Amino acid sequence: MLAMANTESSGDTARPWQCYNTAYTNAKAGMEGVDKEKVQRIVYEMSKGSQYFRNEERKEAFIREKIENMRARCAKLKPADLAHYQTVADKIILELEATRDLSRIWVHVDMDAFYAAVETLSDPSLKGKPMAVGGMSMISTANYEARRFGVRAAMPGFIARKLCPELIFVPTDFKKYTYYSDLTRKDEAYLDVTEVCKERGTTGEEIARELRAGVHDETGGLTCSAGVAPNRLLAKVCSDINKPNGQFILPNDRMAVMTFISSLPVRKIGGIGKVTEHILRDALGISTCEEILQKSSYICALFSNSSADFFLSVGLAIGGTDTPQVRSRRSISNERTFSATGDEAFLFCKLADIAEMLSTDLQKEGLRGRTLTLKLKTASFEVRTRAVTSQKNICSTEDIMKHASKLLKAELPVSLRLIGLRLSHFDEEKVGAPSDPTQKTLTDYMLSGDALRKNMGDQSSLDLDPTDHCMMHVEETCLSKDGHQTSCDYRDPLDENHLSNLDDSKSTSGNFEEKEEIYESTSNANAEKMNANDNQNEDNVQDVVRPLLGPGYSFPDQFEGSSLDRVNSVTKTLGDVASSSVSQKKFLLWVNDYKCSICGIEMPPSFVEERQEHFDFHLAEKLQKEESGTDFKTCVLKKRNVPKDHIASQRKHKKQKPSPKEGKHIPIDAFFVKSNQNF
């Protein structure tokens, strides 16, 4: 982020942008040779003064303080202390060296600018032109032509356009990427090809070449890069060296490995990001992996045991050579960004949306958990998390909202630009499935990869042990563009019925008639469900409604301790046209002749006036026309289209696993990683 070139440069007021590295990093493939000074200046000019910028400055100050503390600790170390830490470091280095395994051949395959490449494949006119996938607020990835201008993933589009005025923006199309990532078995993979090489008398280099050719043929032109090395840490680094459409082979030789790692910038290592790079450089003067070993005593003095172990293994170029166990998912979350607002009704609407999306995801994966974490990003970009652990496992929208609204309410008043919910601490019985619904087994990967096998030349030699498993990972992450909604999609958290409708496009439509149809078709089942769950939801009614009332309004006494049945019956009575037609379960909030009622309780006119923008008068007129016999103006809470199908398209469904084929069996230890997986 605001990485300082060095601490001395912090006082450089003539070129303040030199301190502002938010959007520029030459750690990314394709960014070499970028006019760093120009990019930094433009990004600085476009960012300065913004809330985002101020928050980055705050974070940078925090890191600088941390670095100063570390320097102070270093300065206090006496020769005897340093000698002690050197002994500790030497012992760790010896132990690590004893674990070095140069017998394996690992290949890391990585797709090149995946989203951008897919878009170019479907529109060849984009070829050779600078292009970014995304929009003005944020871009997901940029092709190599755009990267030469300093444009990169996770950069706001308006800055990218300033850097490259000819930049072509292509909106994200997740269905397309899903299709192609299915073909390529995702876009990043580790394969232990040791046994294949032995059996076929070939090299890792040749296997990598064949794999890349297979991906190219299978997809009709997408390219990938590969790294071949004795361990996963090195293979990952190597795959980045000759990007795009290239490969790099590191021999299984200690001298070659040590020579390779010695001059390698620490930032090239997976797990070392901009902050760690900054700290290592400015606190300890470490920029390359070789320097980690040279300053090993300081590493042991300043960092925790696990961090020191990691840094020293990086210095020695020692990485994982085994095939990691498939790990179960630890948490599941959903978050959305929107235009910053302090409107509490809006914030609770958003919260309800997210709770429902989370619940849908949980039910799709059959998960239940105990710890709910609310994530908030304030208008000033400050991130807060608040968590609660309940006695019982939860997964329903109602239960999530019950806890989430309490957590959010405790933070009010606050102006927010993001709300997220995460559920963790899963029910042990429910855990066991792969952590990612898109994960497939190694058998899936190879047995369904006909073209790949064809390119490998010998089908039978690649049949796999069906007990092998692997993990998959989507490299280019999803970027939802519903970030700046001003309208509100509030579903009654008391309504269990919507859960069964989430995959139905009608349930997310803004069309009134369609919602009514759904309600009609499911009301009986819903009523039964609600009766069954009546007791469970007694608290919930108040918890959900109370926050909606906003400051100055208390939950009406007449509803203290109310059951759902009572609320529903009153809502039906008072709500007549609005509630019975639109489904009182879909809308807690409605307006009757400019008097707003929540759960049938009339609110003062000021409540409506303060929230005028949330009411859809057009929809109200339509409703009024259709419902003859009404003599009052009815307004319902504006319904926003939630692109659920868009979200759903980001998640892939498991494919039927083909039956293992007969034939010669040579296992390939391959797995598809999560980005944060240890090497």
Partner DNA sequence: GGGGAAACTACTC
Partner DNA sequence: TTCCAGAGTAGTTTCCCC
Comparison of 477 and 535: residue with beta carbon closer to DNA: 477
Spatial contact of 106 and 192, defined as CB atoms under 8 Å apart:
yes
φ, ψ (nearest 5 deg) of residue 434: -55, 150
CA 188 to chain centre: 16
| Site for DNA, residues 246 to 275, rule: CB under 7 A | 269-275
C-alpha pair distances (Å), 51 with each of 44, 379, 382, 482: 13, 7, 10, 21
371 lies in the site for DNA, by CB under 7 A: yes
**352 binds DNA, rule: CB under 7 A:** no
- Considering the rule CB under 7 A, would residue 608 count as an interface residue with DNA? no
Number of H helices, E strands in the chain: 25, 17
**87-146 residues near DNA, rule: CB under 7 A:** 136-138, 140
Q: Is 306 in the site for DNA (CB under 7 A)?
A: yes
DSSP 8-class letter at 32: T
Minimum gap (Å) between residue 546 Cβ and DNA: 21
Does 54 interact with DNA (rule: CB under 7 A)?
no
- The piece of 386-394, 580-588, 611-619, 631-639 that touches DNA (CB under 7 A) is 386-394
Residue type, 469: H
Residues 467-486 that bind DNA (CB under 7 A): 475-480, 482-484
Catalytic residue at 188? Answer: yes
Query: Closer to DNA at the Cβ: 241 or 388?
Result: 388
Question: Is residue 108 within 8 Å of 226, Cβ to Cβ?
Answer: yes
Q: Is position 303 an interface residue for DNA (rule: CB under 7 A)?
A: yes
Question: Which position among 72, 154, 525, 532 is part of the footprint of DNA (CB under 7 A)?
Answer: 154
One-letter amino acid of 537: N
Between 236 and 515, name the residue whose CB sits nearer to DNA: 236
Q: Closest CB to DNA among 67 and 636?
A: 67
**CB count in 10 Å sphere of residue 147:** 25
> Structure tokens of 203?
């090299």
Q: Which of 56, 60, 145, 188 is catalytic?
A: 188
Three-class SS of 193-212: CHHHHHHHCCCHHHHHHHHH
Q: Does 466 bind DNA (CB under 7 A)?
A: no
Q: Which stretch binds DNA (CB under 7 A): 5-13, 219-227, 331-339, 445-453?
A: 331-339
Q: Given the complex with DNA, which of 99 and 307 has the nearer CB atom?
A: 307
Pick from 9, 389, 535, 612: which binds DNA (CB under 7 A)? Answer: 389
The stretch among 413-421, 453-461, 578-586, 591-599 that binds DNA (CB under 7 A) is 413-421
CA 60, 66, 70, 71 torsion-angle sign: positive
User: DSSP readout, 82-141?
Assistant: HHHHHHHHHHHHHHHHHT---S--EEEEEESSHHHHHHHHH-GGGTTS-EEEE-SS-EEE
Find the binder of DNA among 23, 116, 211, 442 (CB under 7 A): 23
Query: Considering beta carbons, is residue 423 or 548 the nearer one to DNA?
Result: 423
Binding mask of the shown chain, residues 418 to 447, with x at each position contacting DNA by CB under 7 A:
x-x-x-xx---------xx-----------
- What secondary structure letter does DSSP report for 501? G
Phi-psi label, residue 458: left if phi above 0, alpha if psi -120 to 50, beta otherwise:
beta
Residues 543-602 that bind DNA (CB under 7 A): none
CB of 314 to DNA, least distance (A): 11
**Contact positions with DNA (CB under 7 A) in 616-675:** 647, 674-675
DSSP-derived 3-state class of residue 340? strand
What are the catalytic residues?
188
